A and B are shown apart, each in its own frame.
Chain A
Amino acid sequence: MDFGFHEFKTVRDMIYAKTGIFVSDQKVYLLKKRIQDRINALQFSSASEYIRFLKFSDHGGKEFNNLVIATTVNETYFFREFPQLQIFAEYCLPEVVERAKKSSVRILSAGCSTGEEPYTLSIICQEMLTPQCNFFVEAIDIDDRALSTALRGIYDERSVRDVPHTYLEKYFEATPEGYAVKDFVRRYVNFSKVNLFDQTQLTSLGHDFDFVFCRNVLIYFSDDSRRKVIEGFYTMMKPGGYIFLGHSESLSRITTAFKLKRMGGGLVYQKPLIEEG
């Protein structure tokens, strides 16, 4: 097949320009295999012909979206993308509390799936915030089955593989069924079924969020709905609040309304403190 690194870069650039998702070099095999399968299924004669189809004839972008999804690993576990959580814990969280002299912090975990992310955030807040400062995690997803797993709060070895040992002892209970999240972690998380496309339902959660986590979720959306969801988050956030996408997702391809900041060696996006009006 005429699919070399040049073609890989062409497709990778397309994915980045359209979705903001950066496909790493190591994905070349996976992408190539996927494209080979699609070329066979759609009976194209070459990779260049398929790429041309993606560029100019894939109206509605369905083929393209499926390709993007096929190159991403959809696995969720506690403390996933650790460096990013570290920036949240050690830089963003103290900054927000200090700046606004806050006594409570509100966090949205959008597309929370089976609950690993919101519980992780609850653990981080327990660790980082003083007892005088309250916090609450609003966790939403559209999938009922995922939500019921989240509510059950019991996880296997694989899900907790990145949890620091001391946290595992402190925040989880080893049961015959698996690791159960302790009550004082659950207490600060509220799960509900919300469709991110439904602006009314989404924004009814409030307009006072200090943090929004929407990691590795937007890949499943089209260009237009991605923008809409982010606009929704924008209005739901307090000025100076932070939004976190997955570490290979770039918000700048969707909107430039958030301010970029370098914190703790990484890049974060902040809603402007003062909007130019």
Chain B
Amino acid sequence: MAKILIVDDSQMTRNFHAYILRAANFQVIDAIDGADALEKIYRENDIDCVITDVNMPNMDGFTMIRKIRSEQTFSTLPIIIATTLDAANDKKEGFKAGANFYLVKPVKPSVLIESVRMAIGREC
């Protein structure tokens, strides 16, 4: 069962994304911002995919992705951005930071599941 880390400062979003993924047989853990997520990625060391928001207090999603990518061990960890930011330059910055997928909120459940499956290269 793949382990997915959901990073979002909104509890409701964390819940919503977790419900969707748990119902699709994924194991889910969550983090309240980029700093918390980094801590969990390093501590757990077995996360298969990260889904992250961008605008968050403490540490934003772009900064977090750059930090993940600067570490050799996590250079290929699949990262999906799920944000309300839909402008072209935000998308560009997201991919430049090292994200693999960019989704605009509100994310449709089927799109979320499909993106995770594509990112990790398996069903669940």
Contacts and interface: CB of A to CB of B under 8 A. Distances in A.
- In their complex, do chains A and B touch, with some C-beta pair under 8 Å? yes
Interface of A: 13, 17, 250, 252-253, 256, 260-262, 267
Nearest to A17: B32
Given A262-B45, A262-B73, A252 B39 contact: yes
A17 B32 CA distance: 8
B122 interface: no
A13 B36 CA distance: 12
Given A260-B42, A262-B45, A267-B43, A252 B73 contact: no
Contacts of B35: 252-253, 256
Contact of A267 (B34, B36, B42): B42
A44 to B, nearest CB: 23
Interface residues of B, number: 12
B38 interface: yes
Nearest to B70: A259
A252 B45 contact: no
A260 B39 CA distance: 7
Interface string B48-63: 0000000000110000
Contacts of B38: 252, 256, 260
Interface of B: 32, 34-36, 38-39, 42-43, 45, 58-59, 73
A145 to B, nearest CB: 36
B42 A256 contact: no
A152 B66 CA distance: 50
A127 B58 CA distance: 40
7 contacts: A13-B32, A250-B36, A252-B36, A252-B38, A260-B42, A267-B39, A267-B43
A224 to B, nearest CB: 15
A17 to B, nearest CB: 6
A178 to B, nearest CB: 37
A261 B59 CA distance: 17
Contacts of B34: 256
Nearest to A10: B11
The 7 A-B residue pairs with the shortest CB-CB distance, nearest first, are: A252-B35, A252-B39, A260-B42, A256-B35, A267-B42, A267-B43, A256-B59
Contacts of B39: 250, 252, 260, 267
A26 to B, nearest CB: 19
